[in-house]
Structure 1
Amino acid sequence: MAKHPPRKDWFHRAPDVGGLQRFEAFFAGHGYDLHRHDTYAIGHTLAGVQSYQYRGGWRHSVPGQTMVLHPDEVHDGEAGTETGFHYRMMYIEPALIQQMLGGRPLPFIKDGLSTDPRLFAATQALLRSLDCPLESLEEQDALFDLAQALNGAGGVTAKRGNVDYVAAERAREYMHNALDRTVTLEELAHHSGRDRWSLSRDFRLLFGTSPYRYLTMRRLDLVRALLIQGQSLVSAALIAGFTDQSHMTRQFCRTYGLPPARWMKMLRR
């Protein structure tokens, strides 16, 4: 039987954004020695078995689980099988998580592995693709969801504080007048008079979705209206504030389950 040539290790890193670093890698065997860093290390094994020593024992991460290594905890990494392991990971500064938690203790995931579906989804939103840069508001929405998911997976129940409807409504109206350009959470906070993470929490409670998701849906509403009026896909995407046609198409497919070109074709029948 012919032997397959050994697979080569590789590493791909996305551009750093604020306190967030994201990367994707493959290791055929030994990955790295015992070490520690002062950030959270959170990610998914995409293929194979990712084995590592953590808090006095061996952990074995497989697809479908979420790895959450607490800051300053010693760990290493290696392949658990002969096929190697492929994974995506992000490093997040604890101070960034703390800003969203408002002084509560940092979430801790026992054993460094979780099967919590909400935590998996929140992590996947930040690691879905390293080649597609996240918009500022999209990234901050996803980080807020991740912080809350970490709290839940760690057994901490979020406390509901006072809700400021007026501030959230100001932010909502502001977004309606800014569909054609990039909007940041800092910008919404400044306009609404509410700090950004309190505004993000209030918006979800009052309108049932995140600021970025709300803005994206209104942009897609505009795209559909423009397409019906005869605009091209490229023009509709740019007028509605998307980076380009492919950015709009990805969001359109995630929302409606089919690409805009097919939607237009069905509409004309």
Structure 2
Amino acid sequence: MDKEQATIYRAEKLENLLVFQARYQRFKFGRHTHEDFALGIMEHGVQKFYCRGEARFATPGSLISVNPDEIHDGMSADQSEFHYKVIYLPVELLQNIGNEMVAPRSFHTFKNPVTNDPEVAAGLTSLFALLEGESTDLLEMQTLLFGLLALMLERHGTERRTLITGNAIHTPIQKACTFIDDMVKEEISLDDIAAAAGLSRYHFLRLFRDEKGISPWSYLLHKRLQLARTSIRLGTSLTDAALDAGFSDQSHMSRRFKATYGITPGQYRQAYLS
């Protein structure tokens, strides 16, 4: 790949899991989340990214492991080039492996955003090499993937018992997020959201950023991008996906999409058409 380039594709032999690979230097991801787990490896350079309230540094050979809905970004730590590869893992897949091989009846997550484990890193590098090969046996790839995920959860995973309660506490910020989720396609104001939270605008802004790590506008943008991604995966045209998600036009969505995910909506769409 040339400098400042990213590609995304489906691993057809591995249940169509998405694989992302990038080479960046000046590009900086906007803060965002993913619906899936992300497990990747740094191949070159040092990536700095915000996750779980603090800066993280991924050096060559280290693993990047981000849980669903964890806010993060990404950039070069020293303005030099960095390369990495990531595979996205549906929640159900990781939970099934964790419940079968680690701890049953629990919700499994990755413990740390950056992990150093040469054995897992070597296995993940081998998996990416197999995915890029032309004639790879299905059983070989499945065996490697499932073994790696089980090892990752056993060594670097956490599990918590899921509790079901009928008396959930709705905090002001939770109320605000629910309001934004319900109004994601509409034009809403700070006054509207603060009123839904029952707070003054200033108090709401401070609490929201402290709790979520992003601004209300960034949260709304992320929800719109998630909605657009879903529409694109279902085969909706880029123009209709943009309008259906609340963007003014396709160009607006495309700029925000590339700044957030490092790829264009067209690249994302192509991954599901190929």
What is the rounded CA distance, in whole Å, between the counterparts of 2:84 and 2:66 in structure 1? 14
For 1:114, the equivalent position in structure 2 comes to 115
Correspondence for 2:31 among 23, 31, 34: 34
Report the TM-score when normalising by structure 1: 0.51
Count of matched residue positions in the alignment of Structure 1 and Structure 2: 151
2:109 corresponds to which letter in structure 1? F
Describe the shift of the 1:67–1:106 C-alpha distance in structure 2 as closer, same or farther (beyond 3 A): farther
Is 2:11 the counterpart of 1:13? no
| Bigger mean CA offset, 50-59 vs 105-114 | 105-114
Q: Deviations over 1:137-165 (max 9, x none)?
A: 122112211221122222679xxxxxxxx
For 2:19, the equivalent position in structure 1 comes to 22
Is 2:134 the counterpart of 1:139? no
1:93 corresponds to which letter in structure 2? P
Percent of residue pairs identical: 28
Instruction: Extract unaligned runs of 5+ from structure 2.
Output: 160-274
Correspondence for 2:61 among 61, 64, 69: 64
1:132 corresponds to which letter in structure 2? G
1:55 corresponds to which letter in structure 2? R
What is the rounded CA distance, in whole Å, between the counterparts of 1:136 and 1:130 in structure 2? 10
What is the rounded CA distance, in whole Å, between the counterparts of 1:121 and 1:40 in structure 2? 19
Across the aligned residues of Structure 1 and Structure 2, the Cα RMSD in angstroms comes to: 2.3
Native 8 Å contact 1:22 1:89 kept in 2 = yes
Structure having the higher Rg: 1
* Aligned pairs for 1:40-189 within 5 A: 40-101=37-98, 102=100, 103-128=104-129, 130-133=131-134, 134-154=136-156
What is the rounded CA distance, in whole Å, between the counterparts of 1:130 and 1:151 in structure 2? 22
What is the rounded CA distance, in whole Å, between the counterparts of 1:127 and 1:144 in structure 2? 14
Shift of 1:106: 4.3
Shift of 1:69: 0.5
What is the rounded CA distance, in whole Å, between the counterparts of 1:99 and 1:136 in structure 2? 19
Report the TM-score when normalising by structure 2: 0.50
For 2:196, the equivalent position in structure 1 comes to none
Q: Deviations over 1:107-156 (max 9, x none)?
A: 43333111123322332232235531543212211221122112222267
Native 8 Å contact 2:43 2:85 kept in 1 = yes
What is the rounded CA distance, in whole Å, between the counterparts of 1:131 and 1:117 in structure 2? 21
Instruction: Extract unaligned runs of 5+ from structure 1.
Output: 1-6, 158-269
For 2:198, the equivalent position in structure 1 comes to none
